[in-house]
Structure 1
Amino acid sequence: MIKVVLSLCLVACALGASIPNVQEEEGYIVGGKNTSISEVPYLVAMLNNGNFFCGGSVVAPNLVVTAAHCVYEQNHKSLAFRAGSSKANVGGVVVKAKKVHENGRLATTLQSVYVPVVDRETCDLSLKPVVGLTPRMFCAGLEGKDSCQGDSGGPLVDDGKLAGVVSFGMGCARRGKPGVYTNLANPEVAAFVNKYLKA
């Protein structure tokens, strides 16, 4: 399952998946704003037995990129994707999967937020002693602006390209604790994925 997710991530990078930018604005994720699916048409809600639990990004007609922990040990028969809706629980089109603010209430309307990338040294220090930063990770966010629970698997877009996948954080939008993203441009990830794409 993890191999499939990683290979989909590389496909997005290798093809330079063009994704429209979301305009930087202040407002409501944590510290973001309401947005519309028309601004982020590639975004899908992942459903498990009909309930929203993770996000994902459409990178090709039949491919969705998400975080590995969103699909690891999941029963693929219970997974589906809702596309084309600004709401996690209504509207759009639901497709069944074939393979596969902190402590606050989850938003029911699609949210977006501008999060600056944090330099590697600062990021690594913010994660210790819990976990060490690897080249397959990068940090983004600042106090009051971050991804949070329910955002896992969602995209971080830079200059119209899928650059990262929401992975984890030490709380949400805390001072000195940026969010952690999978680095889709990492050469080790690319080599690993290419190995399986050629198989």
Structure 2
Amino acid sequence: LAKKSMLAAFFQKMLPILLLISTILTHTSAQIRIVNGREGRIEDFPYQVSLRRYSIHVCGGAVIDAQWIVTAAHCIEAYQKQPRVYSIRINSSNRVKGGAVVSISKIFKHPLYNSETMNFDVALIRTEKNRLRGEFVQPIKLPTGNTPIMDNTEAVVSGWGHMSSSEHILSELLKYTTVKVVNQQRCFDLMKTQGVVTEAMFCAAGRNTDACQGDSGGPIQSGNVLIGLVSWGVGCADPHYPGIYTRLSYPTVRIWIKLLTGL
């Protein structure tokens, strides 16, 4: 009986970790990473954070204030009311060490988020006041409402996600790559058999480079302005399909962020 009791306690303790692994494995189509990227320094990406669930990296995010982080809604789906299972690593280029680990006080998912269509794939994370500070921690500027993103605009996406479609291993060090914004109608046509690209999304692609599993919720910036978040896609660096990003300047998204954060 003692052995059975100890075994039951062990499995009860391991259950959250097993559930987390299951979640990661069943959401590979939504969670994205950097393929064929270059090594980045946190000094150059001071807004970049690692979002961790049960101390395991699951997504990226961006610091927008000393108390607020923005990420993808699918990164916190099903755990929105359990902020204590999450933490944030800041001020480090390394996914597993360095910098500081910050606890989360509350999570806000966009009220119109749809997990089937991935529309309005954005969430806000609030920490205790002034916790998001450090030598290499700096908020990134948000776009103004309804600011257009021109075709072929160069943008930089960063994160610790998988480095190839075949090797499901997260990068220990921060990676980044440069992509170009794809014409909205062309993206709609390219993706119509895979999903609907709405006006609350935009597309970007690079030659043999892309975001991948583990990069979801991470920043894509142009001109030091956070224009979007890694959301979804087909495979990684697939030459036939661009990556899909949440458009932060879309009025329904931008106004919501303003109402909650004042930014």
TM-score range, shorter chain: 0.7 to 0.9
Match of 1:84, as an amino acid? N
Distance (whole Å) between structure 2 residues aligned to residue 93 and residue 192 of structure 1: 29
Distance (whole Å) between structure 2 residues aligned to residue 197 and residue 43 of structure 1: 18
Match of 1:59, as an amino acid? I
**Any idea what SS the aligned residue of 1:181 has?**
strand
Match of 1:132, as an amino acid? V
Of 42, 51, 60, 1:46 maps to: 51
After TM superposition, give the deviation of residue 195 of structure 1 in Å. 5.7
Distance 1:93 1:194, change over 3 A: closer
Deviates more, 1:122-131 or 1:111-120: 122-131
Deviates more, 1:43-52 or 1:139-148: 139-148
Distance (whole Å) between structure 1 residues aligned to residue 246 and residue 52 of structure 2: 21
Q: What residue number does 1:177 align with?
A: 241
1:98 aligns with 2:105: yes
Distance (whole Å) between structure 1 residues aligned to residue 260 and residue 50 of structure 2: 26
Distance (whole Å) between structure 2 residues aligned to residue 132 and residue 183 of structure 1: 14
TM-score normalized with structure 1 length: 0.81
Please give the root-mean-square deviation of Cα atoms over the aligned residues, in Å.
1.5
Q: What residue number does 1:65 align with?
A: 70
1:143–1:174 CA contact under 8 A, matched in 2: no
**Any idea what SS the aligned residue of 2:58 has?**
strand
TM-score normalized with structure 2 length: 0.62
2:178–2:206 CA contact under 8 A, matched in 1: no
Alpha-carbon displacement from aligned partner over 1:66-105 (angstroms, at most 9, x marks no partner): 0011112113111000001111111110001111122322
Match of 1:31, as an amino acid? N
1:142–1:176 CA contact under 8 A, matched in 2: no
Distance (whole Å) between structure 2 residues aligned to residue 194 and residue 110 of structure 1: 29
Match of 1:147, as an amino acid? A
Distance 1:192 1:96, change over 3 A: closer
**Any idea what SS the aligned residue of 1:85 has?**
coil
Gap runs ≥5 in structure 2: 1-33, 108-163
Gap runs ≥5 in structure 1: 1-28
Distance (whole Å) between structure 2 residues aligned to residue 186 and residue 162 of structure 1: 12
Report the number of matched residues: 170
Mapping 1:1-199, distance limit 5 Å: 29-74=34-79, 75-100=82-107, 101-104=164-167, 105-194=169-258
Distance (whole Å) between structure 1 residues aligned to residue 62 and residue 234 of structure 2: 23
Q: What residue number does 1:4 align with?
A: none
User: Once the two structures are aligned, what percentage of the paired residues are identical?
Assistant: 36
Distance (whole Å) between structure 2 residues aligned to residue 188 and residue 48 of structure 1: 28
